[in-house]
């Protein structure tokens, strides 16, 4: 069994749904991102069934994977979108997404992004500072419209995750400190070009426990009650994203457990009239993708064995950025394991930080295919062209069918718009 249900071994070969990954490598080359359509649907269904007919809006945190085919799939399933830039807004609109199901997050929204989002008619702006609130009020006024606003508060809870993906602590750049939130809401209430609609938080990513959510919820409920006493009534409560996935042997927090606990707390405080918004990114796509790569060279020494592969940190930044662990599978494992050695799996980029996995036992030969698992989230979207490496193709598998949802970039395209000067 691998960590991802739709990437399993059949007859000794790793498949994406019903297609052997080695067929895809032969047909499309490597490195290659391969996604499973059914995995997207299953991940969505976990949230849908957890909502149990309650007033819940799930907004896919699309920075995890913003390929149009992925967005279109979630749009058709009924998803909203959590966007963090004008570029992401354009992607949602490009697949015909409904702007009234978009929440706009991010600490540094520029005026043009606000204008575009107002024009599209987004559900709300998740405002992260007083300065941003004032800019939004001004932009809305200029446009002769009213901006729907939710304040992203920082509840100062520890999500017990990696420091780089923890966002709800006092020292993080995100959100408005919970102690200042009432004053900022009161300021918002005085600005006629703003309409207060909600409150939100997002405390971190790859969270595997329910307690950080409940700690945050408790603080938000107090805030909602204080605001109500001041005559400020909210329509929705947005608890962000952050639900973890399986990279190795994590026990997972299921959407059902999370939502049941949230509804319990809301009911206890007579707040079940509020719409609940969630912004899951990773948990909707992370285990729906792998990064397929070919072993170019093996390099053995007394100190280390290296498998130098054709994927690199420009294709998957998470290991070097977060020290993240991705499970790695040989696509066609050899049965004779007496030859196996511990390998560091590294790319060709001229950086010591260019590694994908360390100390993994394999019996490898040049030309072997490896699948780096759980590469559906924060993989392609963080990819770069460093070392003038074209970004890899993205394939969506649907049963026995493989669709190219983004072709491999050509080398020429990487500098086609550059010019030299005399």
**Active site positions, annotated:** 350
How many Å apart are CA 213 and CA 227, to the nearest integer? 21
CB 294 → ligand PLP: shortest distance, Å?
Answer: 29
d(CA 325, CA 334): 23
Spatial separation of the C-alpha atoms in residues 306 and 352, rounded to whole Å: 12
**Sequence-separated (6 or more) residues with CB below 8 Å from residue 350:** 387
- Minimum distance from CB of 111 to ligand PLP (Å)? 20
Q: How many residues bind ligand PLP (CB under 6 A)?
A: 17
Q: Which of residues 272-331 bind ligand PLP (CB under 6 A)?
A: 279-283
Distance between start and end Cα atoms, the chain? 60
Minimum CB distance to ligand PLP smaller for 185 or for 378: 378
Nearer to ligand PLP (CB atom), residue 24 or residue 243: 243
C-beta of 168 vs 347, nearer to ligand PLP:
168
- Kindly report each contact of residues 258-266 with a partner whose C-beta sits within 8 Å and lies 24 or more positions away, as own/partner: 258/50, 258/210, 258/213, 259/50, 259/51, 259/52, 259/54, 259/56, 260/50, 261/210, 261/213, 261/214, 262/213, 262/214, 262/217, 263/54, 265/214, 265/217, 265/218, 265/221, 266/221, 266/237
CB of 242 to ligand PLP, least distance (A): 4
Choose between 279 and 394: whose C-beta lies nearer to ligand PLP: 279
CB of 147 within 8 A of CB of 137? yes
Contact letters for ligand PLP, residues 53-72 (x by CB under 6 A): --------x-xx--------
Question: Counting contacts by CB under 6 A, is residue 240 touching ligand PLP?
Answer: yes
Task: Please say whether the beta carbons of 287 and 374 come within 8 A.
Answer: yes
| Residue (127 or 188) nearer to ligand PLP, CB | 127
Helices 255-268 and 37-51: crossing angle in degrees, nearest 10, is 20
Q: How far is the CB of 346 from ligand PLP (least distance, A)?
A: 26
105 binds ligand PLP (CB under 6 A): yes
Q: Which residues make Cβ contacts (< 8 Å) with residue 326, sequence separation at least 6?
A: 247, 316, 318, 319, 356, 357, 372, 373, 374, 375
Contact characters 147-186, ligand PLP, x per CB under 6 A: ----------------------------------------
- Report the nearest approach of ligand PLP to the CB of residue 347 (Å): 24
The least distance separating ligand PLP from the CB of residue 243, rounded to whole angstroms, comes to: 6
Beta bridge partners of 357: 345
Q: Which of 79, 205, 294, 314 contacts ligand PLP by CB under 6 A?
A: 205
Window contacting ligand PLP (CB under 6 A); options: 19-27, 237-245, 268-276, 393-401:
237-245
Core vs surface per residue 335-364: b (16+ CB within 10 A) or e? eeeeeeeebbbbbbbeeeebbbbeebebbb
128 lies in the binding site for ligand PLP (CB under 6 A): no
Among 44, 47, 80, 82, binds ligand PLP (CB under 6 A): 82
- Of residues 34, 95, 33, 91, the one with CA closest to residue 63: 91
Judged by CB under 6 A, does residue 238 bind ligand PLP? no
Cβ at position 213, least distance to ligand PLP in Å: 12
Binding of residue 236 to ligand PLP (CB under 6 A): no
Judged by CB under 6 A, the stretch of 138-146, 189-197, 236-244, 389-397 that binds ligand PLP is 236-244
Among 31, 86, 148, 241, binds ligand PLP (CB under 6 A): 241
Q: What are phi and psi of 16, to 5 degrees?
A: -105, 115
Contact residues for ligand PLP (CB under 6 A)? 61, 63-64, 82, 84, 105, 202, 205, 240-243, 279-283
């Amino acid at each position: 069994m691998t960590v991802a249900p739709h990437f399993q071994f059949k007859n000794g070969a790793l498949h994406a749904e019903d297609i052997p990954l080695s067929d895809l490598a032969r047909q499309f080359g490597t490195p290659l991102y391969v996604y499973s359509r059914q995995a997207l649907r299953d991940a969505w269904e976990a949230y849908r069934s957890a909502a149990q007919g309650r007033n819940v809006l799930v907004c896919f945190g699309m920075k995890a994977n913003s390929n149009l085919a992925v967005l279109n799939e979630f749009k058709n399933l009924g998803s909203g979108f959590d966007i963090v830039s004008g570029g992401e807004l354009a992607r949602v609109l490009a697949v015909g997404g409904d702007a009234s199901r978009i929440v706009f997050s991010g600490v540094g929204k520029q005026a043009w992004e606000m204008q575009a989002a107002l024009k599209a008619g987004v559900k709300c702006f998740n405002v992260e500072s007083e300065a941003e609130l004032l800019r939004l009020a001004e932009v809305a006024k200029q446009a002769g419209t009213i901006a729907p606003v939710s304040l992203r508060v920082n509840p100062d809870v520890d999500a017990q995750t990696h420091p780089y993906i923890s966002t709800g602590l006092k020292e993080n750049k995100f959100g408005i400190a919970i102690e200042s939130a009432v004053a900022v809401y009161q300021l918002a209430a005085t600005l006629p070009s703003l309409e207060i609609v909600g409150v939100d938080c997002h405390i971190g990513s790859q969270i595997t426990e329910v307690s950080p959510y409940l700690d945050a919820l408790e603080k938000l409920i107090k805030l909602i009650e204080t605001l109500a006493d001041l005559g400020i009534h909210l329509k929705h409560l947005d608890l962000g994203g952050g639900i973890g996935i399986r990279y190795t042997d994590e026990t997972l927090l299921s959407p059902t457990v999370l939502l049941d606990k949230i509804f319990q707390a809301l009911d206890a405080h007579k707040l079940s009239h509020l719409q609940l918004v969630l912004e899951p990114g990773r948990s909707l796509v992370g285990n729906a993708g792998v990064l397929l790569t070919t072993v170019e060279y093996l390099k053995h020494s007394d100190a280390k064995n290296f498998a130098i592969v054709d994927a690199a940190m420009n294709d998957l930044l998470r290991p070097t950025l977060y020290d993240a662990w991705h499970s790695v599978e040989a696509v066609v494992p050899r049965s004779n394991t007496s030859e196996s050695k511990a390998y560091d799996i590294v790319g060709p980029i001229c950086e010591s930080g260019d590694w994908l996995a360390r100390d993994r036992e394999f019996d490898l030969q040049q030309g072997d295919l490896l699948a780096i698992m759980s590469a559906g989230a924060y993989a392609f979207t963080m990819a770069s062209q460093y070392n003038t490496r074209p970004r890899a193709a993205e394939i969506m598998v649907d049963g026995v069918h493989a669709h190219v949802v983004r072709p491999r970039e050509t080398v020429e395209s990487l500098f086609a718009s550059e010019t030299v000067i005399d």
